[in-house]
């Protein structure tokens, strides 16, 4: 029985691997396996230990060990093991601190506590003081009925350069989109539409005569309502039969979201490949490490979490602790990562991803 279970979890991880390289349009529902990749890895690790410590069948440990070695590239991006690595947040002329954070439209959706959430977000930003701040799902009021915190953020962080691309709205009151705040000149800016309401915002920033391209995006979400999330929580903790039946309807919704994101990721990848400059890609991908979306966008880029992250690196603060859906990728030949952290906050449903980079192997312009 143990051997059959072991074969089953090996097949499970194989399917997770195929989910990272197979477009959801080519094989329906294969993408759903990427949600379970962390659990498949842990299950296979468990079987390696089980067989090694069993009285017989130690050779069976090779079943899971082989597939783990085959999928070795996945592991650092899913389980951060850099607990003893030192972070260096010191700045010099060739370093910059970057922060990406989905701020949930600056509290727009947290009625009647919008102001409390917005002020909390502003306080976190003031504490972190990144040189470049990339915010997907930034909320900017269109009139004076709500407070616009843009000037406050600009003044607190000393950001003379600001760009904002509207991709959606909250009624007629708030524009929602991607914001970039920078202490360095933004010498080129363009918003590329990937699909309806979805953009890759491209900004070339002159960091002490070194041009760096930044690509910021907020990809298609799963579209879960508060009621949907409550049902999932019910399945997790109460095992309510009615909720379990309802949750099955999410499979279709999830698969459609995967298809949308895959198409967006392929377009984003093409834009990334066209960059004439060293590039940093960040934002809310709404997908886990080594989903098809993540793998497509990452390509040969480095993942900041994989280089210096710890634990699971959760960035979405609801449902399950494996949801690292906000990412920070960079061209490894052009930058050295000096420090990295994920900062949890009560003020948004996402955690901030923050890194300190050093520019290397790049001539000044």
Domain boundaries defined on the chain = 2-72, 95-359
DSSP 299: T
Q: How far apart are CA 197 and CA 220, in angstroms?
A: 9
User: pTM of the prediction?
Assistant: 0.92
220: helix, coil or strand?
Answer: coil
Q: Whose CA is closest to 350, among 323, 330, 331?
A: 323
DSSP 350: B
Q: Whose CA is closest to 284, among 272, 293, 275, 292?
A: 293
Q: How far apart are CA 72 and CA 274, in angstroms?
A: 29
Question: Are the C-beta atoms of 134 and 180 separated by less than 8 Å?
Answer: yes
CATH number of 95-359: 3.60.10.10
**What is the CB-side half-sphere exposure of residue 156 using CA atoms within 13 A?**
17
**pLDDT value for 365:** 60
**pLDDT value for 249:** 66
β-bridge partners, 195: 198
Q: What is the pLDDT of residues 102-137, one digit of tens each?
A: 999 999 888 888 999 999 999 999 999 999 999 999
Name the strands in the sheet holding 302-303, side by side, starting at the edge strand that comes first in the sequence: 186-195, 198-206, 211-218, 279-284, 326-330, 302-303
Angle of the 114-128 helix axis to the 150-157 helix axis, nearest 10:
20
Contact partners, residue 342, CB within 8 Å, separation at least 6:
305, 309, 313, 314, 315, 351, 352, 353, 354
E strand or H helix at 266, and its extent? helix 250-273
Q: Of how many residues is the chain composed?
A: 365
Q: In a structure prediction context, what are the per-residue pLDDT tens digits for the chain, which is 365 residues long? A: 899 999 999 999 999 999 999 999 999 899 999 999 999 999 999 999 999 999 888 899 999 999 999 999 999 999 999 999 999 999 999 999 999 999 999 998 888 889 999 999 999 999 999 999 999 999 999 988 889 999 999 999 999 999 999 999 888 889 999 999 999 999 999 999 999 999 999 999 999 999 999 999 999 997 665 555 555 555 555 555 555 555 566 777 888 999 999 999 999 999 999 999 999 999 999 999 999 999 999 999 999 999 999 999 999 998 888 999 999 999 999 999 999 999 999 999 999 999 999 999 766 56
Token couple for 123: 């306080």
**pLDDT value for 21:** 97
Question: Are the C-beta atoms of 206 and 187 separated by less than 8 Å?
Answer: yes
**How far apart, in Å, are the Cα atoms of 75 and each of 286, 287, 332?**
19, 16, 18
**pLDDT value for 338:** 98
**pLDDT value for 265:** 98
């Amino acid at each position: 029985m143990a051997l059959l279970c072991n074969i089953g979890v090996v097949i499970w991880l194989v399917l997770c691997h195929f989910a990272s390289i197979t477009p959801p349009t080519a094989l329906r529902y294969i993408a759903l396996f990427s949600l379970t990749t962390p659990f498949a890895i842990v299950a296979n690790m468990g079987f390696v230990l089980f067989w090694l410590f069993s009285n017989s069948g130690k050779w069976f440990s090779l079943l899971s060990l082989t597939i783990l070695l085959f999928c070795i590239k996945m592991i650092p991006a899913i389980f951060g093991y850099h607990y003893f690595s030192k972070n260096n947040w010191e700045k010099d002329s060739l370093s910059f601190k970057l922060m990406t954070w989905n701020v949930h439209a600056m509290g727009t959706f947290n009625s009647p506590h919008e102001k409390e959430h917005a002020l909390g977000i502003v306080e976190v930003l003031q504490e972190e003081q990144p040189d470049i701040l990339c915010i997907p799902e930034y909320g900017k009021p269109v009139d004076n009925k709500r407070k616009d915190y843009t000037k406050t953020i600009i003044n607190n962080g000393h950001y003379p350069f600001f760009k904002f691309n509207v991709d959606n709205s909250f009624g007629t009151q708030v524009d929602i989109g991607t914001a970039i705040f920078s202490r360095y000149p933004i010498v080129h800016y363009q918003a590329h539409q990937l699909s309806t309401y979805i953009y890759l915002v491209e900004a070339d920033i002159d960091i002490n005569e070194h041009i760096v391209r930044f690509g910021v995006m907020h990809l298609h979400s799963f579209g879960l309502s508060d009621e949907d999330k409550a049902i999932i929580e019910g399945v997790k903790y109460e095992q309510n039969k009615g909720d379990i039946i309802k949750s099955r309807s999410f499979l279709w919704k999830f698969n459609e979201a995967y298809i949308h994101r895959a198409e967006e990721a392929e377009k984003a990848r093409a834009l990334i490949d066209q960059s004439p400059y060293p590039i940093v890609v960040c934002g809310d991908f709404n997908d886990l490490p080594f989903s098809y979306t993540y793998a497509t966008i990452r390509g040969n880029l480095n993942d900041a979490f994989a280089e210096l992250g710890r634990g699971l690196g959760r960035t979405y603060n609801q449902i399950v602790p494996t949801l690292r859906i906000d990412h920070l990728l960079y061209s490894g030949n052009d930058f050295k990562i000096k420090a990295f952290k994920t900062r949890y906050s009560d003020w948004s449903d996402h955690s901030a991803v923050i890194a300190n980079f050093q520019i290397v192997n790049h001539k000044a312009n």
